[in-house]
């Protein structure tokens, strides 16, 4: 699984595990969350979204089961 940097006010990077259908988001705060049952099509829609933050708020947050993984220090 490879982390991709994002140009976003909300996120630092994203990773996706297609086999497990799991989206990983690293927020600027340092929090890392994973979202379950996230389809490859939904991942592509997220990557193509003009605003990743707006897309997240409308289409991911409160729509998928999730788990907080870690809080990392942001340099």
pLDDT, tens only, 11-23: 999 999 999 999 9
CA distances from 37 to 2, 51, 66 (A): 18, 22, 9
**Ramachandran assignment for 37, one of left (phi > 0), alpha (psi -120 to 50 degrees), beta (any other):** left
What pLDDT is recorded for position 44?
98
What pLDDT is recorded for position 1?
82
As given in the structure block, the two tokens for residue 23 are: 């989206």
User: Which tens digits make up the pLDDT trace of 34-63?
Assistant: 999 999 999 999 999 999 999 999 999 999
Rounded Cα distance between 43 and 24, Å, is 10
């Amino acid at each position: 699984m490879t982390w991709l940097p994002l140009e976003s006010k909300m996120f630092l990077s994203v990773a996706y595990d297609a086999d497990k259908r799991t989206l990983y988001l690293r927020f600027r705060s340092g929090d890392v969350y994973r979202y379950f049952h996230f389809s490859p099509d939904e991942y592509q829609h997220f990557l193509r979204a003009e605003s990743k933050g707006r897309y997240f708020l409308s289409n991911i947050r409160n729509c998928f089961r999730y788990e907080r993984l870690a809080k990392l220090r942001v340099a």
